[in-house]
């Protein structure tokens, strides 16, 4: 029992010592910043109760500013100091108690004492370094951290985040990519001109003259290809139109034939009806046999059947003529839709290539600065700023290498060239 008591006393002393260290670290941070730090999402809170190791918890402040602690559950700590949070935890644990089993097996409920409760910041939000440094990114914040220390931890100053070992070779590679892109851009412009000519029903198209000798050979080839494509597509469309028109003409001739047959069938049917009426009159007078009446009736039936067949063929032909006419109209509409879709695709490609060419031109210009040794290789003068979020708002202010940082700060470093203007990243 005495050994257990000594061990418990030592544990309590160690936890108390850790609590003092954490509080000292927090006090140092507040002294460096000149204000009492208030918690933000991303900070990590260390919580423990001396004598109750099961209560120990490492809690991360979530996006809503909430942490979850044993027994207490969720607690909002946004914009609160560590002291405020500890007071809140103490008040929350006052009515609470934990079961503790003694050596003889008896379970006792033990409350919490303020001196047992430890609340401290274990880890601050990281700081971020961006701009002309070797390794931009996030860094673990340490109380008392300065801009100089953050830059050093990021690898030091370095123009555009990466030195170019061979500016001459890099310039050649970039220029080659730009020339390839310019050739593709020219091809797309020629294709757009061909599409617009088709939409306007023109047989030929023109594009502005090319003054760059590097692009002239490919321009001539692209013009010929698109002209051949225009001729082929126009010829194909004309063949389709001719085929539909031929079918329309043949249907018209067949319609004339059926209309003539319809008139003939109608005259035959009328004659058969008259004959049937005459035969019936003779039969009623007893002058002819019934077989003559039956023959006349069959003739009327046959005439009616032929007339129905002709009418059915006429109706079917009318439907076919309507379909052919719609196909003729649809041919033009469908071709126009296809051309408009192709035009939209090429226009988007031209916009994308123009942006890529602008980027390449800027990169070539920048490499040219390096190649001409315009950048100060030694004694560069960095311009620095620190962006800090407070109460949901971001404020950016000028900084020096000795500026003290706060958790969550973003440092932006820009190196300058001899003329005194900043190099764009």
This prediction has a pTM of: 0.41
Contact between 223 and 190 under an 8 Å Cβ cutoff? The reply is yes
For residue 420, tell me if it sits in a domain.
Answer: no
Domain membership of residue 61 (yes or no) is yes
Q: Cα angle at 406 between 66 and 129, to 5 degrees?
A: 105
Are 207 and 191 in a shared domain? Answer: yes
H helix or E strand, kind and range, residue 47: strand 44-49
In a domain, 178, yes or no: yes
Same domain, 323 and 393: no
Structure confidence by residue, pLDDT tens digits, 57-110: 888 888 888 988 888 889 898 888 889 999 988 888 888 777 766 666 666 777
Residues 130 and 118 in one domain: no
Assess whether 185 and 322 both reside in one domain. yes
Instruction: Give per-residue burial for 109-134: e unless 16+ CB within 10 Å, then b.
Output: eeebeeebbbbbbeebbebbbbbbbe
For position 201, what pLDDT does the model report? 85
What is the spatial distance between Cα 290 and Cα 121, in angstroms, rounded to a whole number?
122
Q: What is the DSSP string of 220-259?
A: HHHHHHHHHHHHHHHHHHHHHHHHHHHHHHHHHHHHHHHH
Check whether residue 302 and residue 366 sit in a common domain: yes
Measured CA to CA, the distance from residue 280 to residue 60 in angstroms comes to 110
- Residue 16 C-beta-side C-alpha neighbours within 13 Å: 9
**Can you spell out the DSSP letters for 285-333?**
TT-S-HHHHHHHHHHHHHHHHHHHHHHHHHHHHHHHHHHHHHHHHHHHH
Give yes or no: residues 403 and 356 share one domain. no
Q: Are residues 371 and 387 located together in one domain of the fold?
A: no
The answer on 294 and 173 residing in a single domain is: yes
208 and 316 in a common domain: yes
- Indicate if 233 and 344 belong to the same structural domain: yes
Q: Which two tokens stand for residue 352?
A: 């994308």
Task: Supply the pLDDT for residue 79.
Answer: 85
Q: Would you say residue 202 lies in a domain?
A: yes
Instruction: Tokens 């050979």: give the residue.
Output: 217
* Low-confidence residues in the chain, pLDDT < 50: 1-34, 161-162, 373-379, 418-425
Residues 137 and 204 in one domain: no
pLDDT at residue number 230: 86
First to last CA, the chain: 69
- The answer to whether residue 50 is domain-embedded is yes
pLDDT digits (tens, 9 = 90+) for 172-211: 888 888 888 988 888 899 999 999 988 888 888 888 777 7
Rounded to the nearest 5 percent, the helix, strand and coil shares of the chain are: 55, 15, 25
Indicate if 79 and 145 belong to the same structural domain.
no
Number of structural domains found in the chain: 3
Per-residue confidence (pLDDT) for residue 301, from 0 to 100: 92
User: Does residue 425 sit within a domain?
Assistant: no
- Determine the structural domain holding residue 117 and report its residue range: 38-123
Query: Is 268 in contact with 296 (CB distance < 8 Å)?
Result: no
Q: Is residue 20 part of a domain?
A: no
For residue 244, is it within any domain? yes
Residue 100's CATH number? 3.30.1950.10
């Amino acid at each position: 029992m005495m050994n257990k008591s000594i061990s418990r006393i030592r544990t309590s002393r160690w936890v108390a010592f850790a609590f003092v260290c954490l509080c000292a670290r927090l006090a140092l941070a507040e002294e460096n910043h000149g204000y009492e730090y208030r918690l933000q999402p991303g900070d990590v809170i260390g919580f423990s109760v001396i004598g109750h190791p099961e209560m120990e918890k490492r809690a991360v402040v979530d996006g809503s500013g909430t942490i979850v602690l044993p027994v207490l559950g969720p607690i909002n700590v946004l914009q609160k100091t560590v002291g405020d949070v500890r007071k809140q935890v103490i008040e929350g644990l006052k009515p609470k108690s934990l079961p503790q089993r003694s050596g003889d097996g008896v379970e006792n409920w033990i409350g919490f004492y303020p001196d047992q409760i430890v609340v401290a910041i274990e880890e601050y939000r990281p700081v971020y370094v961006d701009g002309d440094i070797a390794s931009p990114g996030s860094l673990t914040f340490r109380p008392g951290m300065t801009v100089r220390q953050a830059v050093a931890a990021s690898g030091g100053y370095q123009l555009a985040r990466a030195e170019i070992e061979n500016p001459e070779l890099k310039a050649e590679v970039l220029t080659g990519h730009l020339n390839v892109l310019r050739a593709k851009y020219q091809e797309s412009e020629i294709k757009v001109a061909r599409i617009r000519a088709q939409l306007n029903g023109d047989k030929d198209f023109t594009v502005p003259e090319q003054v760059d000798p590097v692009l002239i050979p490919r321009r001539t080839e692209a013009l010929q290809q698109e002209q051949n494509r225009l001729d082929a597509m126009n010829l194909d469309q004309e063949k389709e139109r001719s085929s539909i028109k031929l079918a329309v003409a043949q249907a018209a001739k067949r319609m004339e034939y059926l209309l003539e047959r319809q008139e003939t069938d109608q005259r035959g049917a009328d004659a058969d009806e008259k004959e049937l009426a005459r035969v019936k009159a003779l039969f009623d007078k007893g002058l002819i046999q019934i077989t003559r009446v039956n023959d006349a009736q069959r003739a009327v039936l046959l005439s009616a059947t032929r007339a129905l067949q002709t009418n059915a063929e006429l109706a079917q032909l009318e439907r076919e003529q309507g379909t052919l006419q719609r196909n003729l109209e649809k041919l033009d509409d469908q071709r126009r839709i296809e051309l408009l879709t192709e035009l939209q695709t090429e226009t988007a490609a031209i916009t994308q290539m123009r942006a890529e060419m602008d980027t390449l031109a800027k990169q070539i210009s920048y490499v040219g600065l390096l190649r001409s040794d315009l950048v100060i290789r030694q004694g560069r003068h960095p311009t620095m700023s620190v962006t800090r979020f407070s109460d949901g708002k971001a404020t950016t202010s000028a900084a020096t290498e000795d500026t003290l940082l706060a958790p969550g700060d973003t440092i932006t470093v820009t190196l300058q060239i001899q003329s005194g203007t900043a190099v764009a990243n």
